[in-house]
Structure 1
Amino acid sequence: MSLRISRLLAGAGSTPPGLPNFDSTTVFVRAAASALRGEEFPALGMFPSWLIPVAARLNSLPRRARTGIYTTGGANEGVSPDELGNVDVERFRQWVVDQYPDRGYPAVIVGSSNGAAVHLAALLGVPWLPQTFLVPVSRSLPPDAIHADLEWGAEHADPFLAANPDVSLHQMHDPNQDRLMVRKLAYFRTKSRRLGDAYEEFIETVLASDGTIITLECEYDWPAVRIDDRHTYQVGGHGGLDPESYYEGDDAIAEFLEQQGANRDRWYTPDPDERVPEAEWGFEPALGEDIDRLADENGYDVRRLRFDEPHELSPFVADRYRERYAELGRPVDRLFVQSFALVEPWWTLRTGSVPYWTPFNTAPDAAQVDSYLDGVEPYDEIWTTLFAHGVESAGLGSIDRWRSVLSRARDQYGFVGVDETEFPYDIETHVRYHEDLPETIRARYAHPAPMAFDRFDSIAADAAPAAELEWTQHERSAVNDQR
Structure 2
Amino acid sequence: MKRKTGLLVTIFLPLAFFIPFVSAAGAGITPVCFDSGTRVVREVAAALTGRGESILECYPPVSKPFLWLLHLLPENLRIAGIEWGSSVSVGVPPGRLAEFDAMSLPQWCRSQYPDGREYKAIVIGSPNGGVAHLAALLHAPFLTASFLLAVRHPTIDPEDIDAYYAAGERLAAEILAGSKRTGFEVINHYDPLHDRALIKYVNFLRIKLLKLPQAYQDFILQNLAPDGKIVLIDCSYQWPQYIVGERSYLQVGGLGAIPAGEYLNRFVLDLPVEERRESEWGCPPEFACAVKDFAKRHGIDVIEVSYDHPQGYSLLSYRAYLAAGARKQEIMFDCFNYQNPLTNIQTGIPALWLPFNTEDSLAFARSFLSGKRFERIYLALLPSFAGSPDTASIGEWEKLLSPHGDLTIIDVDPHTFPADPLAPFRFVAGMKRLREERHRSPSIELSLATLAALLHPNPPPAPSAPRP
Give the TM-score taking structure 2 as reference length.
0.86
Alignment-derived partner of residue 426 in structure 1: 420
Alignment-derived partner of residue 190 in structure 1: 207
Q: CA deviation at 1:406?
A: 1.6
Secondary structure (helix, strand or coil) at the match of 1:222 reads: strand
- Residue 110 of structure 1 is aligned with which of 120, 124, 128? 124
Residues in 2 aligned to 1:464 and 1:26: alpha-carbon distance in whole angstroms? 35
| 1:449/1:382 CA distance change after superposition, 3 Å | closer
Higher mean alpha-carbon deviation, 14-23 vs 361-370, is at 14-23
Alignment-derived partner of residue 322 in structure 1: 322
Q: Does residue 215 of structure 1 match 2:229?
A: no
Alignment of 1:233-248 (within 5 A): 233-248=250-265
Residues in 2 aligned to 1:464 and 1:186: alpha-carbon distance in whole angstroms? 47
Residues in 1 aligned to 2:458 and 2:165: alpha-carbon distance in whole angstroms? 42
Residues in 2 aligned to 1:6 and 1:73: alpha-carbon distance in whole angstroms? 11
Alignment of 1:79-118 (within 5 A): 79-102=92-115, 103-118=117-132
Residues in 1 aligned to 2:329 and 2:408: alpha-carbon distance in whole angstroms? 15
Q: CA deviation at 1:17?
A: 1.1
Q: CA deviation at 1:60?
A: 2.3
Secondary structure (helix, strand or coil) at the match of 1:209 reads: strand
Residues in 2 aligned to 1:51 and 1:192: alpha-carbon distance in whole angstroms? 35
Q: Could you tell me whether the CA contact under 8 Å between 1:57 and 1:428 is conserved in 2?
A: no
Alignment of 1:196-345 (within 5 A): 196-248=213-265, 266-270=266-270, 273-325=273-325, 331-345=327-341
Residues in 2 aligned to 1:41 and 1:76: alpha-carbon distance in whole angstroms? 20
Amino acid at match of 1:129: L
Alignment-derived partner of residue 363 in structure 1: 359
Alignment of 1:12-51 (within 5 A): 16-39=28-51, 41-47=53-59, 49=61, 51=63
Alignment of 1:313-462 (within 5 A): 313-325=313-325, 331-374=327-370, 377-410=372-405, 412-439=406-433, 442-462=437-457
Residues in 1 aligned to 2:87 and 2:234: alpha-carbon distance in whole angstroms? 29
Q: CA deviation at 1:464?
A: 11
Q: CA deviation at 1:217?
A: 1.1
Q: CA deviation at 1:334?
A: 0.8
Q: CA deviation at 1:156?
A: 3.3
Amino acid at match of 2:58: M
Gaps of 5+ in 2: 1-17, 461-468
Higher mean alpha-carbon deviation, 176-185 vs 137-146, is at 137-146
Q: CA deviation at 1:108?
A: 0.7
Residues in 2 aligned to 1:351 and 1:53: alpha-carbon distance in whole angstroms? 30
| 1:162/1:213 CA distance change after superposition, 3 Å | same
Gaps of 5+ in 1: 249-265, 466-483
Residues in 2 aligned to 1:171 and 1:224: alpha-carbon distance in whole angstroms? 10
Give the TM-score taking structure 1 as reference length.
0.84
Residues in 2 aligned to 1:380 and 1:119: alpha-carbon distance in whole angstroms? 22
Runs of 4+ in 1 over 6 A off after TM superposition: none
Residues in 1 aligned to 2:459 and 2:249: alpha-carbon distance in whole angstroms? 32
Q: CA deviation at 1:71?
A: 4.9
Q: Does residue 162 of structure 1 match 2:177?
A: yes
| 1:56/1:282 CA distance change after superposition, 3 Å | farther
| 1:161/1:463 CA distance change after superposition, 3 Å | farther
Secondary structure (helix, strand or coil) at the match of 1:383 reads: strand
Q: Does residue 124 of structure 1 match 2:125?
A: no
Q: CA deviation at 1:451?
A: 2.1
| 1:201/1:71 CA distance change after superposition, 3 Å | farther
What do the CA deviations read for 1:315-369 (whole angstroms, capped 9, x no partner)? 111011112226xxxx311110101100011112233211111111001101101
Secondary structure (helix, strand or coil) at the match of 1:436 reads: helix
Amino acid at match of 1:166: G
Q: Could you tell me whether the CA contact under 8 Å between 1:34 and 1:346 is conserved in 2?
A: yes
Q: CA deviation at 1:234?
A: 1.0
Q: How many residues align?
A: 437
| 1:85/1:193 CA distance change after superposition, 3 Å | farther
Q: Could you tell me whether the CA contact under 8 Å between 1:29 and 1:96 is conserved in 2?
A: yes
Amino acid at match of 1:155: R
Q: CA deviation at 1:62?
A: 4.7
What do the CA deviations read for 1:146-175 (whole angstroms, capped 9, x no partner)? 122223322332121122321111111000
